[in-house]
Amino acid sequence: MEAQRCPMCGQANPPHLEVCQYCQARLKPLWVEPSEGSGSAVEDGIARSKAPLEPDEPLVPEWLRTDRMQIDEGASFNAEELGQEEPLFPEEPLDTDDFLGGMFSDEPLGDQGEDVPEWLRSLREDSAAAERPLQSAKSADQDLPIPFWLDFDEGAAEEVPPQSPSAIEKVPPFKEQPFEDIDIDSAIFPSEQEAGEKLTSEEPRAVSPFETFEPFLFTEQPSQLVEDSTSEPEAAEVSSKEGKTSPPAAEGDWMSEIPPWLETLPGEEWMESETAEKEIPPEFLQGAVPPFVETDEELSEIEFPAWLDQVERSIEPELDTVIESLTPPAVERLTTMEEEKGEVPKERPEALLEEEDAVEMVGPLHGLRGVLPAEPLVAEPKKPSKALSELLLTDKQRAQAELFLRMIEEEGKPQPIPPSRRAKPHLLWRVLIFLVLFAAAAVGLVLRPFSSAPQELSVGVFDAMQAVNQLPAEAVVFLVVDIEGSDFAEMLATTNALLDQMMIKGAFFVVVSANQTGALQADRLLREVSRLNGHKVQPSSGWLNLGYLPGGVAGMQAFAQSLPQILPNTVDGEAAWQDKRLQNIRSLADFPLVIVITEDSTRARQWIEQLKGQVSEARLVFAVSAQVEPVLRPYYEANPRHIQSVLAGIRDGAIYETQSARPGWAMQLWDAYTLTALVAAGLIILGALVYFLIGLLVGRKPPVEGKTS
Amino acid sequence: MTLEFPFLDLLGGAIGVLLTLLVFSSLFGDHFLVRLIFYGYVGIMAGFSVVITFNSVIFPLLFQPILEEPIDGMVQVAIPLLLCGLLVFKVSTRFSWVGDLSLAFLVGAGLAALVGGAIRGTLMPQISAVISPFDLERSSLPPEERLPSLVQGFVILLGTVTTLTYFHFGARPRASGPLRRQEWIETLSWIGQFFIAFALGLIFAGLLKAGMVALVERVQALLNFVITLQRGF
Amino acid sequence: MMQSFLRSPFSTLITFITGMVVLLGYFIDVDPLNVLRSRFLQWTVLLAAVALMLGVFNLMRVHWKRLKESSIKAIYSFAFFGGFLLALAVGGLLGVQHSLTRAVIDFVIIPIETSLFVVILVSLVYALTRLLQSRLSAFSFVFLVTVVFSIIGSIPLLGIEIPFLQGGDGILSLMTRVLGTAGVRGLLIGVALGSVLTGIRVLLGLDRPYGE
């Protein structure tokens, strides 16, 4: 007895073995019941089948021809050597040529020695006798379990009418990207295999296996094309069954009947003449596209399940770009990322997990664990759908489709930005700053006086004193008080001496404010100055509060032009301009002195701009917060000046009080202020130094473009 | 502040101290009481704004003329009354467009005042101030002070020009890279940043000084309250 | 129709006319123009006051909605209305210059605002200490040094004034007068130029902040 060659690894095995001793692949098909005396017939068939392999054979491509020649060389070994169970080929990894050589070699057929399979028998008989072996095969099928990939409904092909070529074109072929047609794959996979099997020789498949439903594992590994050899007998069987339209090929000439998957190989221009027949769609399309569909418009009218439409709409814009990046390595990366995140157990359906862990039971991947689930989708027998307009999905397909869609959606979703590593606000440092400053202020207030009063007479204070000194007695002074409660302490310190001096001279104040509550602060300011310096000035007798001047710069301009028309009443609703001290005043130009008291630099600038031309510069004095002084400096330092004087901050207030020999509010706070300012400066220097060193030691991230501004 | 009743004065002081401490506590984080205080504060300010605005402007300009002389007053305030009436529609979502007319008037007058003030009060005087140190013929300074003044004027001119250049964002595309300003503008802009940093540093320091005075005032208020309590009890 | 007319061409025309009358009054001293300008400005003041009242009304409406929702925020809105009614009662009924009004200012408004400013002060000092860590550049350094020198220069150091640092001829005075003036003058001119350009765009109808 001859040694049997393993169809998987090509190694020679003793004839009594059922499983390859090298790769553990099954050597004898389960569905074939060996029959006696068939060995010679097989040999004859093999001998005849070698005829097309001659070099002058025009149908076989070059690569196939060389492969066969290699196999022929390998097959000329001594049968005795096989009897010694020595391997035919050295134990090396199999390559593509080995698989193809095994496919076309005689050994697998010879192994079946005792019996001839049905497909081979049908090749040897003429069309009239083709019915008999089929019947015998059917009877054998009833006794033996038929592999699932042979268990297709024979009558299905007859039930499905041929489809138009346009229907084929609407389904994109499975070309380079395995998931390119994912939205319709779920519909076409179940019937695809059947369609490929049921095509007769007269109706060759228009789409080759490489382009349609071939799993990408196969496309990546051409050596495994040997799997397709199992479908050839079936095709021959079907052709013999439908012998009326397709006369079977002569015995020994079966290789001239090119299998469908070879039709699209390079160099097969001879098939172009059969283009019209190729356009008949495979059967898998018959389950997805109704036979009456001829145009795109009709195809678009098909009602797909709602969930699929919804999903398709949501991902359609992104699908093309995403799929292009979904090469198998990319899918592996995605899977790896999910596994790293620990999301896989939550998201993946159990069916998929089982598939991944399951052992492949058929095909060239037999015995391998964890292969992608291509087989069930391709080879599972399905009856064609009766309801052609419906999309039939198994649970497994739905789970896979959902998983894939989820993967795509995950890719489309913006990844959450990881939390910034920016250090949290150093609460302790802030509290420490507060406590230190608070303590410094408290110590300064308790221990005062310990600091010297500022002695130097600044230019601003000097000019302000001059302006006040030039005031006539009981003059009417216009005060703009634009201050908030937060700056009240500083503004009181700044203006205390100035207002005190004017009160001494019996000045009468007309007060207005350009912010809503400034009128309240103006009242409080004058009241406090009066109280602190021992005056008994009251609202009606000492000042007139006109209240709030709305309108911003327009209000200032309007007010500068015509006071009585804009603000005729006081803040309490009484007539303002009835006082006989105001009889001669109709505009700002009529006041001998205008003092703007503000802590807002913008408002100070606006007052200067709007009072320009309305009030003489010599009569315009600004008493402002220390933060406003730099803004007013260009107006004050200009030649000629645009304002008469600038009193800025507690320092100028203290100087004024010192120069006028009437210590007041500014001098009350001066000691504590100087100590607090000194401590604050120390804290700033110390803190900046510490954080600078921390930044150098820890390392600084470069500022991100666009965030730095 | 002294009320007529010492007890109320003490109570007011206690309220002030309590509010001060509560606001200080926000340094440790935002909490319910601080928010409550702030909302109440906003309410008080809004209430005073309404009272002051009504007393100062709306009543005397809009209603008083009608009350004093109904016919003449109505004629006098007809247009502003119409404008104000249209402006009221701004609170309505549906008829907000009716108020656009009044708003257009308000914007036109306000921006014109802004433009006029900026030109007359800042642009012309400040440009003149930059130039004036170099006008030696009109300088009133004695000869020995003219050179320092000239140097000072040059530094100010440099600072003004470079600071303005910093805010020039015109750029041209370059074949070799992204949009960039011309080299000489970049150089001037770089110098201008020093002047800007210096000016902003001065303003920032002024802000800190004002804050320190506020801190001292608050500490003094707290100490005064404690002293008052000690004396009272 | 009416809506679009009021919005686009008519509003733009109103803005332009009003703006031109007010603007020309700065440079042309003609009586009829001045009278008209004065009227326009007076109406502007009135409109601004009404706009402020509407703003307060809108604020009240928002808080009233919150009050009706009876959520946790309703408590805050309740505090708002409490303060609002207090101010209306004290300022409106008793008068702005009444002693109770003054008490509200002295014991409520001033402590809150001043304390808030202190909190801001602490935050500013804190930010300043971290300046060089977050952004180390020559300009940050100049900024920081300027701040420190300006603070130190405004006070006698424990009763002693440093001659070259402080005083009218000191470094600080020179820096403030020359360098500070130069920088701020550039900023002022820039701000003025921006104001002029923005104003002219609105007056000519290129921008319409008052509607579509």
Q: Can you give A649-692 as a three-state secondary structure string?
A: HHHHHHHHHHHCCCCCHHHHHHHHHHHHHHHHHHHHHHHHHHHH
Q: How confident is the model at residue A64 (pLDDT cuts 50, 70, 90)?
A: low
Q: Do A70 and A95 belong to one domain?
A: yes
- Distance between CA atoms of residues A309 and A318, nearest Å: 15
DSSP structure string for chain B: ---SSHHHHHHHHHHHHHHHHHHHHGGG---HHHHHHHHHHHHHHHHHHHHHHIIIIIIIIIIHHHHHSHHHHHHHHHHHHHHHHHHHGGG-SSSGGGGHHHHHHHHHHHHHHHHHHIIIIIIHHHHHHHHGGG-GGG--S-HHHHHHHHHHHHHHHHHHHHHHHHT----B--SSSS-B--HHHHHHHHHHHHHHHHHHHHHHHHHHHHHHHHHHHHHHHHHHHHHHHHHH-
C-alpha distances out from residue A506 to A496, A536, A541, A591, Å: 15, 11, 10, 15
Backbone angles phi, psi at A247, to 5 degrees: -65, 135
Angle, CA of A589, A590 and A594, to the nearest 5°: 65
CB-closest option in B29, B113, B120 to A613: B120
Residue A615 is classified by DSSP as B
- The residues spanned by each domain of chain B are 1-68, 145-233
Beta carbons of A684 and C121 less than 8 Å apart: no
State whether A12 and A63 are in the same domain. Answer: yes
- pLDDT of residue A81 exceeding 50, the answer is no
**Residue at C28 is within a domain:** yes
pLDDT tens, A214-231? Answer: 333 333 333 343 344 444
What pLDDT score was predicted for residue C43? 92
pLDDT of residue A92: 41
Tell whether A459 lies on the interface with C, counting CB pairs under 8 A.
yes
Which range (A379-388, A519-528, A672-681) has the least confidence?
A379-388
> Helices A306-324 and A395-412 meet at what angle, rounded to 10?
50
Q: Is residue C14 part of a domain?
A: yes
The one-character DSSP state at A485 is G
Residues 103-132 of A with CB under 8 A from C: none
Residue C193: what pLDDT?
Answer: 93
Could you tell me if residue C206 is inside a domain?
yes
List, in sequence order, the alpha helices (H) in A84-205. 96-104, 107-111, 118-124, 131-143, 156-159, 165-169, 182-198
Query: What would the pLDDT profile of C99-128 be if each residue is shown by its tens digit?
Result: 899 999 999 999 999 999 999 999 999 999
C150 plus C200 within the same structural domain: yes
Q: Do A684 and C41 touch (CB under 8 A)?
A: no
Q: What percent of chain C has pLDDT over 70?
A: 90
pLDDT band at C158 (very low <50, low <70, confident <90, very high): low
Q: Which of A275-279, A437-441, B87-91, B136-140 has the lowest mean pLDDT?
A: A275-279
Residue A14: what pLDDT? Answer: 82
Which B-chain residues 134-193 have CB contacts (< 8 A) with chain A? none
Burial class (CB within 10 angstroms; exposed 0-12, middle 13-18, buried 19+) of A410? middle
Res A698: pLDDT: 77
Which of C97, C173, C185 is best to mutate for the A interface (most A CBs within 10 A)? Answer: C97
**pLDDT tens string A597-626:** 999 999 999 999 999 888 888 889 999 999
- In order, the DSSP letters of A284-338 are HHHHHS-TT--SHHHHHTS---HHHHHHHHHHHHHHHHHHHT--HHHHHHHHHHH
* Residue A242 pLDDT exceeds 50: no
Region of residue A313 (phi > 0: left; psi between -120 and 50: alpha; otherwise: beta): alpha
**CA of A592 to nearest chain C CA: how many angstroms apart?**
23
Tens of pLDDT, residue by residue over A376-415, are: 444 455 555 555 555 667 787 888 888 888 888 777 777 7
Let me know whether C77 and C28 are in one domain.
Answer: yes
Query: Does residue A651 belong to the interface with chain C, where contact is any CB pair within 8 Å?
Result: yes
Report pLDDT for A241.
44
- Please tell me the predicted confidence (pLDDT) of residue A272: 41
Q: What is the pLDDT of residue A605?
A: 93
Return the minimum-mean-pLDDT range out of A172-181, A684-693, C198-207: A172-181
Mind listing the pLDDT tens digit for each residue in B161-210?
999 998 887 777 666 666 777 788 888 989 999 999 999 999 999 999 99
**Residue of C15, C59, C133, C158 to mutate when probing chain A, most A C-beta within 10 A:** C133
Task: Find the angle CA(A170)-CA(A172)-CA(A173) to the nearest 5 degrees.
Answer: 135
Least confident residue range of A90-94, C61-65, C92-96: A90-94
What pLDDT was estimated at residue A336?
59
Average pLDDT over residues A542-570: 89
Q: Of A14, A3, A130, A137, which is closest to residue A74 (Cα–Cα)? A: A3
Containing domain of residue A29, as a range?
A: 1-116
Residues of A in contact with B48 (CB under 8 A): 516-517, 520
Chains that touch C (3 or more CB pairs under 8 A): A, B
Given a cut of 70, whether residue A588 has pLDDT beyond it is yes
A463 and A360 co-located in one domain: no
Residue A554's alpha-carbon distances to A482, B66, C33, C43, C52, in angstroms, are: 16, 25, 16, 10, 15
What is the count of residue pairs from B and C with beta carbons less than 8 Å apart? 391
Gap from C130 CA to chain B (nearest CA, Å): 15
Which of A548, A625, A705 to probe the B interface (max B CBs under 10 A)?
A548
- Which tops the pLDDT comparison, A528 or A355? A528
User: At which of C37, C67, C94 does a domain end?
Assistant: C94
Q: Which residues of C touch B42 (CB under 8 A)?
A: 59, 80, 83
Residue A267 has pLDDT above 50, yes or no: no
A residues 571-590 lying closer than 8 A (beta carbon) to B: 571-573
Given a cut of 80, is residue A654 above it in pLDDT?
Answer: yes
A369-376: average pLDDT: 53
A412 Cβ contact partners less than 8 Å away, ≥ 6 residues apart: A315, A318, A322
- Among chain B residues, CA nearest to C98: B3
Q: Which of A636, A610, A609 minimizes the C-alpha distance to A622?
A: A636
Which pLDDT does position A100 carry in this prediction? 38
- State which amino acid sits at residue B197: A
Instruction: Report the percent of chain A where pLDDT is more than 70.
Output: 45
What integer pLDDT is reported at residue A315 of this predicted model?
57
For chain A, the average pLDDT equals 65
Residue C60 pLDDT exceeds 60: yes
Q: Are residues C141 and C119 in the same domain?
A: no
Given a cut of 70, is residue A141 above it in pLDDT? Answer: no
Q: In chain B, which residue's Cα lies nearest the Cα of A485? A: B214
Reported as type and span, the H/E element at residue A46 is helix A39-49
- B207 and chain C in contact, CB less than 8 A: yes
Classify residue A579: in a domain, yes or no. Answer: yes
Q: Which three-class secondary structure state does DSSP give residue A569?
A: strand
**Which pLDDT score is estimated for B81?**
92
Residues C42 and C84 occupy one common structural domain = yes
- Looking at chain B from residue 142 to 161, which residues have their Cβ under 8 Å from any Cβ of chain C? 152, 155-161
Whether B216 and A669 lie within 8 Å, measured CB to CB: yes
Average of per-residue pLDDT values in chain C: 86
Domain-embedded: residue A454: no
> For chain A, how many structural domains are there in total?
4
ipTM value, please give it. 0.90
**CA distance linking residue B215 with residue A434, whole number of Å:** 10
Domain total in chain C: 3
Query: What is the Cα–Cα distance from A607 to A605, expressed in whole angstroms?
Result: 5
**Residue C4 within any structural domain of the chain:** no
Domain-located, residue C184: yes
Q: What is the pLDDT of residue A23?
A: 79
Residue with the larger pLDDT of the pair B55 and A455: B55
Q: What is the overall mean pLDDT for chain B?
A: 87
**Is A122 inside a domain boundary?**
no
Question: Do residues A242 and A116 make contact, with C-beta atoms less than 8 angstroms apart?
Answer: no
Greatest mean pLDDT range, A257-266, A284-293, C15-24: C15-24
Contact of A437 with chain C, judged by CB distance below 8 Å, is answered with yes
The C-alpha atoms of residue C119 and residue B37 are separated, in whole angstroms, by: 15
Chain A's closest residue to C119, CA to CA, is A434
- For A220-269, the DSSP string reads H-GGGGGGGGGHHHHHHHHHHHTTTTSPPPPTT-GGGS--HHHHTSTT-G
Q: Which of residues 382-411 of A touch C (CB under 8 A)?
A: none
On whether both C46 and C104 belong to a single domain, the answer is: no
Residue of A nearest to C102 (CA): A524
Best CA proximity match to A164, nearest among A58, A53, A23, A294: A294
Residues 35-64 of A with CB under 8 A from B: none
Q: What angle do CA B39, B40, B41 make, to 5 degrees?
A: 90
Is position A451 within any domain? no
Mean pLDDT value of segment B45-66: 91
Interface test with C, best of B5, B37, B154, B202 (most C CBs within 10 A): B202
Domain range for C167: 137-212
Confidence of residue B157 (pLDDT cuts 50, 70, 90): very high
Same domain, yes or no, for A366 and A490?
no
| Top-ranked range on mean pLDDT: pick from A143-147, C72-76, C168-172 | C72-76
Answer whether residue C108 is part of any domain.
Answer: yes
Q: Which of C122, C144, C181 sits opposite A633 (nearest CB)?
A: C181
Q: Does C125 contact A680 at a Cβ distance shorter than 8 Å? A: yes
Distances A213 to A12, A68, A181, A352, C168 between C-alpha atoms, Å: 32, 27, 10, 20, 92
pLDDT cut 90: percent of chain C above it: 51
Chain A neighbors of C167, CB-CB under 8 A: 456
Q: Name residues whose C-beta falls within 8 Å of residue A705's C-beta, 6 or more positions apart in sequence.
A: none
Residue B1 has pLDDT above 60, yes or no: no
In a domain, A233, yes or no: yes
Residues C14 and C90 grouped into a single domain: yes
Reduce the DSSP state of residue A624 to 3 states and report it: strand
Asked if C184 and A651 come within 8 Å (Cβ–Cβ), the reply is no
pLDDT digits (tens, 9 = 90+) for C23-36: 998 888 888 888 89
Token pair, residue B115, equals 């433009």
Whether the per-residue pLDDT at C173 is higher than 60: the answer is: yes
- What does the pLDDT average to over A300-327? 57
Residues of chain C contacting residue B224, judged by C-beta atoms under 8 Å apart: none
Substitution target from A495, A546, A578, A639 for chain B, most B beta carbons within 10 A: A639
Percent of chain A with pLDDT over 90: 20
